[in-house]
Chain A
């Protein structure tokens, strides 16, 4: 069974204090790894897709990287508006033309001014 583990569960940073969130996974036949941001009371907002080990993607203060067993979401000089829950999900082929996403429980990031 696919497993996605995110750590830490919660992270509190001061504004400008860079850090990284981790997503480790066990999946047979990874077809992609997704990062989402979720604000309280809202739906997940798509951030990145990574398809192969070694791939990196950047968006403003966020950079996502992927290895064969884990992904990191690096946050450089965060601001209070970066506070949210960050979700990681793995995509695998589950037969025919069907692909399935499995989510981790997320990391709750709080950035204090």
Chain B
């Protein structure tokens, strides 16, 4: 499967627990983006990463949320001390780069987070 992979597909956490969402980009892609989708709302940008660098985190809440894309392994979106309002679908996308035609972002299947 050469597509973007995300796991887990579904994640249930109790309030106060930590949630870790993983994303492996498409082969040949070195740019990763995380988005959040709430019911009745559009996809909202959270963070853009390249290997070992956060390029733009302007869409990510300042507290409890963090993201990384290490040299080896998948990108991780981490949510500490989850609250009910964090319940949403979280999508990862990847692209070859930035610039003409390289901007095309391809999405994974998403992780549906439910906070009890």
Contact = CB atoms under 8 A, between A and B. Distances in A.
Interface residues of A, number: 26
Given A42-B110, A94-B56, A100-B56, A34 B42 contact: no
Interface residues of B, number: 26
Contacts of B63: none
Interface in B11-55: 33, 35, 40-45, 48, 55
B45 A43 contact: no
A100 B45 contact: yes
B11 to A, nearest CB: 14
Contacts of B44: 103
Contact of B41 (A94, A97, A105): A105
Contact of A34 (B35, B45, B99, B104): B104
Given A105-B42, A106-B42, A98 B48 contact: yes
B108 A43 contact: yes
Contacts of A89: 43
A11 B106 CA distance: 26
Contacts of A31: 103
A32 B103 contact: yes
A26 to B, nearest CB: 15
A99 B107 contact: no
A31 B99 CA distance: 9
Interface string A75-100: 00000000000010101001001111
Interface of B: 4, 6, 33, 35, 40-45, 48, 55-56, 91, 98-101, 103-110
Given A34-B105, A97-B98, A103-B42, 15 more contacts: A34-B104, A43-B6, A43-B91, A44-B43, A46-B107, A49-B103, A87-B43, A98-B98, A99-B99, A100-B48, A100-B56, A101-B33, A101-B105, A104-B42, A105-B41
Interface of A: 4, 31-32, 34, 36, 42-46, 49, 51, 87, 89, 91, 94, 97-106
